[in-house]
């Protein structure tokens, strides 16, 4: 049974290789287990997928405890590294974001995705304020002994001021600053077009995450460009629910259930998805429970299993 630190290093190594890896985003235990069984080396949560499945729109309207309880169920069933989308950190303060990361580590997560839009204003958080969060998370993870992979998302391409060129320059500026502050990977939301991706990498070299969406170059093309990570985002949940909508239309309109049965799992296969994968259950080596500070801890850490 791998320790949290070992799983985190496995996940970090995927970002250091000079080749692309695909990170699927799950929204519940069965979807995460399907990705694991398919052979993906790691899995992440989709904030939108998880939250909507629980009856909340994407964002921080869901209580943190309820969201992380759903994530814990996934962590308990998969053996591969799990990264958790923590939106903007679940709270206005740096300490809130660090506390969220502490809880992510405690339940078995070894990566986080952090956004730079302030939910209270729906605008980009000032750069220095976001850098405080990135630095504090990095320091806390190092002190905890779990090298959490921090994927720093910027929404500058959509929420930045000025022209499209101005927004692109702001995304570059933020990506460079986030890397310098300790981010392992940067994620410019809505960076899709091939030429723009190539320019971004030329001006901000390092591990880059792009998301599957219409217009994105093929995986071989992205690998040739030097992209390290392609995530599904909520695309898999879109696909699954889109299939259900087509099935419903077929049954009510065409009076056919053929699509409902085509490619469906069996009862036994469905049940197996509720069972842990072989070797799942990450041995934890994180600080004891309690309110996290926005900075490193130096105290001795007992072993923990989740």
Q: Cβ of 180: how many Cβ atoms within 10 Å?
A: 11
pTM above 0.85, yes or no: yes
Determine if residue 81 is left, alpha or beta; phi over 0 gives left, psi from -120 to 50 gives alpha, anything else beta: beta
Q: Which residues pair with 153 in a beta bridge?
A: 187
CB neighbour class for 173 (10 Å; exposed up to 12, middle 13-18, buried from 19): middle
* CA separation for the pair 177, 242 (Å, rounded): 38
* CA separation for the pair 286, 293 (Å, rounded): 14
According to the model, what pLDDT value does residue 16 have? 95
According to the model, what pLDDT value does residue 295 have? 43
Q: Which residues of the chain have pLDDT under 70?
A: 1, 278-306
Q: Which domains does the chain have, with CATH numbers?
A: 4-305 (3.20.20.60)
Q: Rounded to whole angstroms, what are the CA distances from 2 to 10, 42, 106, 278, 285? A: 10, 14, 14, 12, 11
| Closest alpha carbon to 1 in 90, 75, 98, 102 | 75
**3-state percent helix, strand, coil for the chain, nearest multiple of 5:** 45, 15, 40
In the block, residue with structure tokens 């923590």: 86
According to the model, what pLDDT value does residue 12 have? 97
According to the model, what pLDDT value does residue 279 have? 54
In the block, residue with structure tokens 């994968």: 277
According to the model, what pLDDT value does residue 18 have? 87
Name the pairing type of β-strands 117-118 and 304-305.
unpaired
According to the model, what pLDDT value does residue 3 have? 84
According to the model, what pLDDT value does residue 280 have? 52
According to the model, what pLDDT value does residue 19 have? 93
CB neighbour class for 79 (10 Å; exposed up to 12, middle 13-18, buried from 19): middle
| Closest alpha carbon to 150 in 187, 106, 204 | 187
According to the model, what pLDDT value does residue 24 have? 98
Give CA 71 to chain center in angstroms: 11
According to the model, what pLDDT value does residue 277 have? 80
| Closest alpha carbon to 228 in 41, 16, 12, 9 | 16
């Amino acid at each position: 049974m791998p320790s949290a630190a070992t799983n985190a290093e496995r996940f970090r190594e995927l970002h250091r290789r000079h080749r692309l890896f695909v990170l699927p985003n799950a929204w519940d235990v069965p979807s995460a287990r399907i990705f694991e069984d398919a052979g993906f080396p790691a899995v992440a949560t989709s904030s939108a997928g998880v939250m909507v499945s629980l009856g909340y729109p994407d964002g921080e309207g869901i209580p943190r405890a309820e969201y992380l309880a759903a994530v814990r169920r996934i962590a308990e069933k998969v053996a591969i590294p799990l990264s958790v989308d923590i939106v903007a950190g679940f709270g206005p303060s740096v300490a809130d974001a660090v506390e969220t990361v502490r809880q992510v580590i405690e339940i078995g997560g070894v990566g986080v995705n952090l956004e730079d839009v302030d939910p209270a204003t729906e605008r980009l958080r000032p750069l220095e304020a976001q850098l405080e969060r990135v630095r504090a998370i990095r320091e806390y993870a190092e002190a905890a002994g779990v090298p959490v992979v921090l994927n720093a998302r910027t929404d500058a391409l959509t929420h930045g001021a000025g022209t499209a060129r101005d927004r692109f320059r702001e995304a570059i500026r933020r990506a460079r600053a986030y890397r310098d502050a300790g981010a392992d990977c940067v994620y410019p939301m809505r960076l899709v077009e091939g030429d723009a991706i190539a320019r971004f990498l030329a001006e901000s070299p390092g591990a880059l995450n792009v998301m599957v969406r219409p217009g994105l170059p093929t995986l071989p093309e992205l690998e040739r460009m030097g992209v390290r990570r392609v995530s599904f985002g909520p695309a898999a949940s879109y696909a699954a629910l889109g299939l259900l909508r087509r099935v419903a239309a077929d049954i009510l309109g065409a009076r056919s259930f053929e699509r409902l049965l085509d490619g469906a799992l069996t009862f036994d296969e469905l049940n197996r998805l509720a069972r842990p994968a072989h070797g799942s259950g990450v041995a934890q080596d994180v600080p004891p429970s309690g309110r996290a500070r926005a900075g490193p801890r130096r105290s001795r850490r007992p072993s923990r299993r989740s």
